[in-house]
Chains A and B, each alone.
Chain A
Amino acid sequence: GQQLNQSPQSMFIQEGEDVSMNCTSSSIFNTWLWYKQDPGEGPVLLIALYKAGELTSNGRLTAQFGITRKDSFLNISASIPSDVGIYFCAGRNMNRDDKIIFGKGTRLHILP
């Protein structure tokens, strides 16, 4: 089946730094999604991307849908303590099915 490779697996950064994480797929997606999961909670949608090349922002978060439809990145600017958590990229493929395929996640740690 389709695989999503998400990197890095974990990151340790200083508060105030910018963060970048990315995702690549073995095949084309028609929708890319970025979710954040806090401990003991369900994934919460941060940004949804629907068109190749699309660049979308949500506050300090920016994500892009790669031109090839096989990759996406998420940037977080000026990180703050509440950014700590696991960030998952996810996608939907070109078929009619609407299931979401998730990456393995990037665990973000912020040092004081």
Chain B
Amino acid sequence: EPEVTQTPSHQVTQMGQEVILRCVPISNHLYFYWYRQILGQKVEFLVSFYNNEISEKSEIFDDQFSVERPDGSNFTLKIRSTKLEDSAMYFCASTRRGGTDTQYFGPGTRLTVL
């Protein structure tokens, strides 16, 4: 069964450094999302992406964040200058048609900012 994959599974970085989290959505999916989950808390929406542009973003997704689909398979989340409070699990999700289509989540990348 096709699934969303994410790399790395765990990323440790120093405060102020840039990180890029990578996702490979399911191959025929067209809508892509990033969510984050701070340890012990709920999953929070960050951004949705369709047709090479951001559809919607939350207040968490400030100027330090950016997303990109650099090729036909990868979908990346970049944090330009990490802060301690960016430490969280970051989940990528994708759907084929958006709207009420089921969003399939990847296994997540655990980001630890020291």
Contacts and interface: CB of A to CB of B under 8 A. Distances in A.
Given A97-B48, A99-B56, A41 B107 contact: yes
Contacts of B45: 99-101
A73 interface: no
Given A42-B106, A92-B100, A99 B33 contact: yes
A50 B100 contact: yes
Interface in B59-100: 91, 93, 95, 98-100
B91 A45 contact: no
A48 B104 CA distance: 12
A35 B103 CA distance: 11
A105 interface: yes
A45 B107 CA distance: 13
Nearest to A90: B43
Contacts of A98: 31, 48, 95, 98-101, 103
Interface residues of B, number: 27
Interface size class of A (residues with CB under 8 A): 20 to 34
A42 B108 contact: yes
Contacts of A53: none
Contact of A43 (B48, B55, B91): B91
Given A98-B31, A98-B98, A98-B99, A44 B44 contact: no
Given A41-B107, A42-B108, A105-B42, A97 B56 contact: yes
A42 to B, nearest CB: 4
A65 interface: no
Given A44-B105, A88-B43, 4 more contacts: A30-B100, A42-B105, A43-B91, A98-B100
Interface of A: 30-31, 35, 40-45, 48, 50, 88, 90, 92, 96-105
